[in-house]
Structure 1
Amino acid sequence: MSASPHRVAVFGAGYVGLVTGACLAELGHDVVVRDVLRERIDALRHGEVPIYEPGLGELLARNAERLRFTTDVGEAIGDADFVYIAVGTPPTYSGDADLSAVWTVVDELPRIERRCVVVMKSTVPVGTGTRVRHRLDERGLGHVGYASNPEFTAEGTAVRDFMHPDRIVVGAFRDEDGDLVQELHAGIDAPVVRCDVASAEMIKLAANAALMTRISFINEIANVCEATGADVVRVAEGIGLDRRIGSAFLRAGIGFGGSCFPKDSLALKQLAANSGYHFQLLNAVIEVNELQKRRVIGKLHSHLGPLRGKTVALLGLAFKPHTDDMREAPSIVLAGRLLAEGADVRAWDPVADGGDLHGAVIVATPEEALDGADAAVIVTEWPQLADIDWAAVASTMRNPLVIDGRNMLDPEPLRSLGFVYEGIGRAAGAGGGV
């Protein structure tokens, strides 16, 4: 717990804002979370967590005395020492980050007479901090500090990632502002990277670009493995043991999704283009990811022929396990493509509601999705899928075909049950998996 509790206002009650507020309260600070969605704030006031994030509900309950929720700007600001901006920055049609919510927060700040620090938690293009600093100065808030404190939390492990991070990045125009933000994190044992604001903004974008590059790289290797008879699971194991490379983010599949990677890749690509630089590598990373999702359709065609009238079970809808987030999820692309080709789509996920899959039938269990299906596609590697009684399923499917988009199942047991199994970048007869 922090030795010197502070008062913190967090603007935005989404995945980032709620985790930030709850974890800062866990560190001993008094936190007010503000959001424009009254129904979300009402739910939080009643102890209901509006998003699915393991451990978040318990954290909010344990720190209820240090947490308040409001829709009122004045109540949120109050006598806050820090104003955290944790609002969404979705891509525009041009690929630039939409900063309208950020500017709304900045422009709604009242005439604060005391010293406090505005802290950017949202992922923003490099240069945003400079523009915010100018806006604060124009509004007579030159005494209000500004710092960039980007988040590096992954949905599904966000609480752990905040409390036990690889690093804490703090960028500031003035050292005293950076000192205050660093002090706010007292109680967390992690290296602190102190830098200028632009570098902090770039660290976030560059980190995500590096991870996306690894994902697209191993997916390209998987596609070559399919063409040559190699097994990408064994290949990834072999290269991952090289200490210069490591094994993280070398699991082949049907591509990345979510609220960060697709958005941030477009934002960095557009940032480079706006600066007169053609980011060739990142362009390729994005293209590979888009094509990877559609390769599943080709696999279905190779086994089933035309898909009109066929029933396809999509197992897993969220962009990754242990979250209900479907933003940019591969399931949306797959369902849309299947429905466009005349297939019937049944979809299951343990927590995501599938509201974005217009035309698909959402069912309660994997077994219900598989009953009478011509093919199953594993889209999200939920642990529950490893517990399915595949022997029983073999007799209920019209055609026992499994396209394992995450390479999570062991092919040989399935094939022994009569399934046709195809993974991503896996040779016929390859073993391994869950």
Structure 2
Amino acid sequence: MRIAMIGAGYVGLVSGACFSDFGHQVVCIDSNAEKVATLKNGEMPIHEPGLAELVARNVGQGRLSFASDLKSAVSGAEVVFIAVGTPSRRGDGHADLSYVYAAAREIAEVLPEKAVVVTKSTVPVGTGDEVERIIREENPAATVAVVSNPEFLREGAAIRDFKHPDRIVIGTDDARARSVMAEVYRPLHLNASPILYTDRRTAELTKYAANSFLATKIAFINEIADLAEKVGANVQEVAHGIGLDNRIGQKFLHAGPGFGGSCFPKDAMALIKTGQDNESPVRIVETVVAVNDQRKRAMARKVANAFGGNIRGKQIAVLGVTFKPDTDDMRDAPSIPLVTALQDMGAEVRIFDPVGMEQAKKVFENVTFCDNAYRCAKGCHALVIVTEWEQFRALDLKELSTIMACPVIVDLRNIYSPVEVERNGFLYCGVGRPKSVAY
């Protein structure tokens, strides 16, 4: 099928590349001419494992291309996906739908007869109705169908998630659109990927409900971690114990510094605003957002507590600043309020991240950027592990003990055994684990 993907950001680029790998003819359109030129040169604007190779293969085989001219790309498409950003709107937390509506207006004039328009962007309930209204207003003769098809991609594992999805949600009451979408996803039939056909508004709400529920699991286990520290319990064993119940499951029960990224914070906030607008508040999600925001900055106190509450003049090494491994995404990363709080307490901060340094330089000020973990730790009074990159899981503790000014490790991801770390002469501070004696 001929597919036009409006937006070559994270969702649009991954989706477009995967659709082309299925055998569809895909054009990814982006208004940023510089980004388009970069993509044509084979350079990726985001870090996602396997994406560069996937794009190169399909460009080379003529199934995937990039353009900034929307009209020519859309005019020959059978299916047009809208995959533009929907960031939180400044001031009120609502999802900013201006890019979605602008795309709808632009494509309306040139949509082929009976084309199917699909919102891939994460959008509040009722957005599809407005997209359809805009298209019909701009082009009264159009017979297009508007479908909701939310994405469920994890950064760092997006290609696998797209090709081996837990589910595909398609929201439409139009029989023709349903048939077209079935053809779009037909290559996944061999994987027995379940497709849920529902109405458009239900599909839109499903996306927000899913992300907010996962965020709730994270906030819950983080609060249990705080309680575990107070009572001398081990949150990792608690998480394992409750996760063995298949009604709960093991995933998203890893205590840490709080959730971040491009999805959970903004999607939870958008769901809260939708609830408020419809006089049906989602109090649990409201609490989740509040608890998570407080937690990120509170992690700095965990570092300070290792020094009796005073870190003024101390050098602190921060390993990992992206919100999760295998991405360079810094959006709402827990490292941001952590570093800010450390600086407010008078500490000097050094930073290393395997792939996030360029993005980090756009975010942090008055920090020292280092090119590996050991240079970052040299001369520091504490080493703080914020993002659980694989290369941080087997640091040479003996070497660290000789180059650090003070043997303190604050492990906000619980990737180390306290016994092993303390055996090498360190004070170890984890999350939700029995505490070491203060240094």
TM-score (norm 2): 0.95
Matches within 5 A, 1:288-307: 288-304=291-307, 305-307=309-311
CA-atom RMSD, angstroms? Answer: 1.3
Q: Equivalent of 1:339, from 329, 340, 343?
A: 343
Matched, 1:167 2:159: no
Q: Equivalent of 1:24, from 19, 25, 30?
A: 19
Q: Equivalent of 1:265, from 261, 268, 293?
A: 268
Q: Deviations over 1:220-265 (max 9, x none)?
A: 1101101100000111111111122110111111111000000000
Q: Percent identity?
A: 45
Matched residue, 1:321 = 325
Matched residue, 1:129 = 128
Q: Provide closer, same or farther for how the CA distance between residues 141 and 382 of structure 1 changes in structure 2, counting only shifts above 3 A.
A: farther
The AA in structure 1 aligned to 2:246 is R
Quote how far apart the aligned CAs of 1:55 are: 1.1
The more displaced of 179-188 and 292-301 is 292-301
Matched residue, 2:404 = 397
Check conservation: 2:318, 2:350, Cα contact below 8 A.
yes
Matched residue, 1:187 = 187
Quote how far apart the aligned CAs of 1:332 are: 1.0
User: In structure 1, the residue corresponding to 2:259 is in which secondary structure?
Assistant: coil
**C-alpha separation in 2, matches of 1:177 and 1:360:** 52
Matched, 1:78 2:78: no
Matched, 1:69 2:66: yes
User: In structure 1, the residue corresponding to 2:5 is in which secondary structure?
Assistant: strand
Q: Equivalent of 2:208, from 197, 205, 208?
A: 205
The AA in structure 2 aligned to 1:38 is A
User: In structure 1, the residue corresponding to 2:384 is in which secondary structure?
Assistant: strand
Q: Deviations over 1:135-175 (max 9, x none)?
A: 11112254111100000010000000000000100001412
Q: Deviations over 1:195-238 (max 9, x none)?
A: 00000001100000110111011111101101100000111111
Matches within 5 A, 1:219-258: 219-258=222-261
**C-alpha separation in 1, matches of 2:364 and 2:243:** 36
**C-alpha separation in 1, matches of 2:141 and 2:299:** 53
Check conservation: 1:146, 1:173, Cα contact below 8 A.
no
Quote how far apart the aligned CAs of 1:181 are: 1.2
Matched, 1:414 2:421: yes
The AA in structure 1 aligned to 2:215 is M
The AA in structure 2 aligned to 1:320 is K
Check conservation: 2:300, 2:342, Cα contact below 8 A.
yes
User: In structure 1, the residue corresponding to 2:87 is in which secondary structure?
Assistant: coil
Matched residue, 1:374 = 381
Matched residue, 1:152 = 152
**C-alpha separation in 2, matches of 1:273 and 1:296:** 30
TM-score (norm 1): 0.96
Structure 2 gaps of 5+ residues are none
**C-alpha separation in 1, matches of 2:380 and 2:224:** 31
**C-alpha separation in 1, matches of 2:383 and 2:219:** 24
**C-alpha separation in 1, matches of 2:387 and 2:141:** 47
Matches within 5 A, 1:25-44: 25-44=20-39
Check conservation: 1:170, 1:182, Cα contact below 8 A.
no
The AA in structure 1 aligned to 2:415 is M
The more displaced of 397-406 and 147-156 is 397-406
Which contiguous aligned blocks of 4+ residues in structure 1 show a shift greater than 6 angstroms? none
Quote how far apart the aligned CAs of 1:113 are: 4.5
Q: Equivalent of 1:196, from 192, 196, 199?
A: 199
**C-alpha separation in 2, matches of 1:141 and 1:168:** 31
Structure 1 gaps of 5+ residues are 1-5, 430-434
Q: Provide closer, same or farther for how the CA distance between residues 46 and 111 of structure 1 changes in structure 2, counting only shifts above 3 A.
A: closer
Aligned residues: 425
Matched residue, 2:94 = 96
Check conservation: 1:326, 1:352, Cα contact below 8 A.
yes
Check conservation: 1:172, 1:196, Cα contact below 8 A.
yes
Check conservation: 1:308, 1:343, Cα contact below 8 A.
yes
Check conservation: 1:111, 1:141, Cα contact below 8 A.
no
Matched residue, 1:432 = none
The AA in structure 1 aligned to 2:255 is A
Quote how far apart the aligned CAs of 1:287 are: 1.5
Q: Deviations over 1:245-291 (max 9, x none)?
A: 11011111111100000000000001101111222100111122112
